[in-house]
Amino acid sequence: MTKRLIEIDDHLLAEAQEAARAKTIRATVEHALKQLVDRERAIEHVERLRRPGALDLTRVEQAREPKITAMADVHD
């Protein structure tokens, strides 16, 4: 891990720390960075799904249909 010396807006940091319910500046920054990375990955995933042929809606509908399973005869 590398130490970084950066300037951060005090008011913004305080708001972020409260929103993240973080006890330290480090925890606040790590939380914010993870949130940003997760959001970007989700956006990329949605964009991939929007590409032609990436999502077969027929298969989605089939997956929603109730499954009928045959009951085996139970012999005592």
**What residues does each domain of the chain span?**
10-64
pLDDT at 33: 97
The neighbour count for residue 35, using CB atoms within 10 Å, is: 13
**What is the 8-class DSSP label of residue 53?**
T
Say what the pLDDT of residue 15 is.
Answer: 97
Rg (CA), the chain: 24
* pLDDT at 34 (0 to 100): 97
**What is this structure's pTM?**
0.65
CA atoms of 48 and 58, how far apart (whole Å): 18
Overall average pLDDT of the 10-14 stretch: 97
Q: Mean pLDDT across the stretch 3-25?
A: 96
Instruction: Convert the pLDDT of each residue in 19-59 to its tens digit.
Output: 999 999 999 999 999 999 999 999 999 998 888 887 777 87
H/E stretch holding 25: helix 25-50
